[in-house]
Amino acid sequence: MIDNDPAPTRQRSDPSLRTGEAASTLVLTGFMGVGKTTVGRALAARLQRPFVDLDQRIAALTGRDIPALFAEGEATFRAAEAAALRGLPSDQPLVIATGGGTLIGRANQRLLDGATLVCLDAPLSLLQTRLGNDGQRPLAAEAQRLYAERRAAYQRLPLHVDVAGRTVAEIVAEIVGLRPSSPRPPSPNTGRGGRFSFHVPTPHGEPYPILIGNGIGAEVGAHLAAWGVERAALITDQNVGPLWGESVRHDILAAGLPTTRLTMAAGEVHKTQETVATLYDGMAAAAVARGDGVVALGGGVVGDVAGFVAATWMRGLRRVVQMPTTLLAMVDASVGGKTGVDHPAGKNLIGAFRFPDLVLIDPEFLTTLPDAELRNGMAEVIKHGVIADPALFDTVLAHKGPLLDLLTADFLARAVQVKVEIVTRDPFERGERALLNLGHTFAHGYELVSGYAISHGEAVAMGMVTAARLSERLGMAVSGLAGRIAGTLEHVGLPTAWHGPDSADALWAAMQQDKKRTAAGLRFVLPRDIGDCVLTEAGAVSRADVAAVLCEGVGV
């Protein structure tokens, strides 16, 4: 509802809130009780702009009050909220006070594109005191839970103003003085950029799309709704959930779909049947039915486990969206459709093929990924360069500055493209696809003898250099190839040689457990140059040649 409060005293609107030519709409958000409506009304008066209280507007548009809408389910309320945002007048700058959940999802933030979003902050203790006076508000424990769930999404908002111990007039004065673009430099992972799409063929069905772009994850709800899905289960892990879970859940809710969040323990050690059983319990409790959708939000582990749950719950759910949040999962697991869990007898022994219906690759998720995990994924990116894309390889080596800045939508699309093209040419894994195994036969040996103390990316990095050294030794590679590959891996902080105490014999024995080994022996992917790799025949490379390169460091 637009509320044209006449300003008590006439003041000129402040030019510091202008972006470009026109003053931008100001949107206030923050936890319940923080004072969004009070501050918003005073701010509108000060700036002589119309004031919109979003809750009032939702009530006016639907003809219902907020508790009644909520009583029908959070999705009903969130859909009405998104509709109210969509219908806001855009011909003049406004001041809008939103609800505490309005800007948790990025889809709603995008509806306010061009507006200045300001988050009002207060400690939970202050909010609880304020909320305590009002019988309608949720209990303290519930408030605490919500506060924790929403914190990360609030923190990512660009502008913050503390309200604790300050008068409304002081808060208004600070907001009026804010510089809309100041606090955070624009990052290539969060600013607007290109959008890219690929279609990955599947052996027996329709190809599925991979969409890549900044903020593209915010569209998940719209895709599910367009398919006619009626509810969703969002599966994530204990690290990703607190950072992105609520944001993505709100993006699905805003499309009007009831959404249950299921959280698994993080890490490969939890890629187990026990985790699957717990998730089944969650699916049952939430009454997830066959026509519903699963959204997997996380790294490769979440993708594998959630994909497997989706493939098996009620003999398979209708729609699966993969939203990879690690670099590794974005450039590798997103192309393929393998799902499953480990068994004490070995990795990935239990599983199913379940191609996703959609993959959304959003570089913004990488902004919270630890550096070690970024490096881990870079090993597969560099691998793609060595297999088929010399320009991609050179781009990595030429990059200066934080790794995150390299990982734009454009760059990720190029890295994904290598795998998509190979899988397109070899959908049944009969030939060329084996090239994607570059470095992996050695990597499996290094992983195994280290007792998985080294990460997959580190193992692949060392494995690629070892493969190049083998290729050089056999006279197949251009000179200096191993050194070049090692140089680029080192440039992003990856190890290039195995320095463990284990002998070549132990490594050789470990490598024999490679799943891709045939009775005739191991096959190796050997690089001849950057962008040019070949696959050897089984057993064609002698044990002596392999042993000679296994433990040898390389001077760069």
Instruction: Please identify which residue in 172, 279, 328, 530 interacts with ligand ADP, judged by CB under 6 A.
Output: 328
Cα 475 to Cα 83, 350, 471, 553: the distances in Å are 66, 40, 6, 19
Instruction: Please identify which residue in 98, 312, 326, 471 interacts with ligand ADP, judged by CB under 6 A.
Output: 326
Answer whether 383's CB lies under 8 Å from 468's CB: no
Rounded to 5 degrees, what are φ and ψ at 491?
-55, -35
Q: Which two tokens stand for residue 241?
A: 């959930």
Q: Distance (Å, rounded) from C-alpha 523 to C-alpha 381?
A: 22
Residue in 194, 188, 200, 193 with CA at minimum distance from that of residue 416: 200
Closer CB to ligand ADP, 78 or 150, in the complex = 150
Answer whether 93's CB lies under 8 Å from 116's CB: no
- Minimum CB–partner distance for residue 268 and ligand ADP (Å): 6
247 counts as binding ligand ADP under rule CB under 6 A: no
446 counts as binding ligand ADP under rule CB under 6 A: no
Instruction: Please identify which residue in 266, 350, 547, 548 interacts with ligand ADP, judged by CB under 6 A.
Output: 266
- Minimum CB–partner distance for residue 380 and ligand ADP (Å): 10
- Minimum CB–partner distance for residue 95 and ligand ADP (Å): 34
Instruction: Please identify which residue in 89, 138, 267, 316 interacts with ligand ADP, judged by CB under 6 A.
Output: 267
214 counts as binding ligand ADP under rule CB under 6 A: no
Closest residue by beta carbon to ligand ADP: 299
Instruction: Please identify which residue in 376, 408, 437, 466 interacts with ligand ADP, judged by CB under 6 A.
Output: 376
262 counts as binding ligand ADP under rule CB under 6 A: no
Instruction: Please identify which residue in 105, 245, 299, 363 interacts with ligand ADP, judged by CB under 6 A.
Output: 299
Reported residue count of the chain is 556
Closer CB to ligand ADP, 218 or 369, in the complex = 369
365 counts as binding ligand ADP under rule CB under 6 A: yes
- Minimum CB–partner distance for residue 441 and ligand ADP (Å): 19
269 counts as binding ligand ADP under rule CB under 6 A: no
Answer whether 46's CB lies under 8 Å from 11's CB: yes
Q: Which two tokens stand for residue 457?
A: 């990316």
Answer whether 239's CB lies under 8 Å from 314's CB: no
33 counts as binding ligand ADP under rule CB under 6 A: no
115 counts as binding ligand ADP under rule CB under 6 A: no
Instruction: Please identify which residue in 161, 240, 253, 317 interacts with ligand ADP, judged by CB under 6 A.
Output: 240
Instruction: Please identify which residue in 325, 339, 471, 488 interacts with ligand ADP, judged by CB under 6 A.
Output: 325
268 counts as binding ligand ADP under rule CB under 6 A: yes
**Catalytic residue list:** 315, 338, 380, 419, 429, 433, 437, 440, 444, 456
368 counts as binding ligand ADP under rule CB under 6 A: yes
Q: Which two tokens stand for residue 121?
A: 């902050």
Piece in contact with ligand ADP (CB under 6 A), picked from 25-33, 202-210, 300-308, 427-435: 300-308
Output the DSSP codes for 285-351. Answer: HTT--TT-EEEEEESHHHHHHHHHHHHHGGG--SEEEEEE-SHHIIIIITTT-EEEEEETTEEEEEE
Give a three-class secondary structure readout of 471-524.
HHHCCCCCCCHHHHHHHHHHHCCCCCCCCCCCCHHHHHHHHCCCCCCECCECCC
Instruction: Please identify which residue in 34, 84, 254, 329 interacts with ligand ADP, judged by CB under 6 A.
Output: 329
520 CB contacts (<8 Å, ≥6 apart)?
A: 537, 538, 539
Task: Name residue, tokens 């998730």.
Answer: 279
255 CB contacts (<8 Å, ≥6 apart)?
A: 79, 82, 107, 221, 222, 224, 225
Closer CB to ligand ADP, 239 or 437, in the complex = 239
- Minimum CB–partner distance for residue 243 and ligand ADP (Å): 5
Evaluated on CA atoms 438, 443, 445, 448, the torsion sign reads negative
Give a three-class secondary structure readout of 202-243.
CCCCCCEEEEEECCHHHHHHHHHHHCCCCCEEEEEECCHHHH
- Minimum CB–partner distance for residue 63 and ligand ADP (Å): 41
275 counts as binding ligand ADP under rule CB under 6 A: no
Instruction: Please identify which residue in 189, 239, 272, 496 interacts with ligand ADP, judged by CB under 6 A.
Output: 239
Number of residues that bind ligand ADP (CB under 6 A): 21
377 CB contacts (<8 Å, ≥6 apart)?
A: 326, 327, 328, 329, 330, 331, 332, 457
Helix (H) or strand (E) holding 533: strand 532-535
371 counts as binding ligand ADP under rule CB under 6 A: no
- Minimum CB–partner distance for residue 244 and ligand ADP (Å): 7
374 counts as binding ligand ADP under rule CB under 6 A: no
Piece in contact with ligand ADP (CB under 6 A), picked from 152-160, 236-244, 441-449, 507-515: 236-244
Closer CB to ligand ADP, 116 or 239, in the complex = 239
Q: Which two tokens stand for residue 205?
A: 């069905």
Instruction: Please identify which residue in 53, 55, 219, 237 interacts with ligand ADP, judged by CB under 6 A.
Output: 237
Binding site for ligand ADP (CB under 6 A): 237, 239-240, 243, 266-268, 298-302, 325-326, 328-329, 365, 368-369, 373, 376
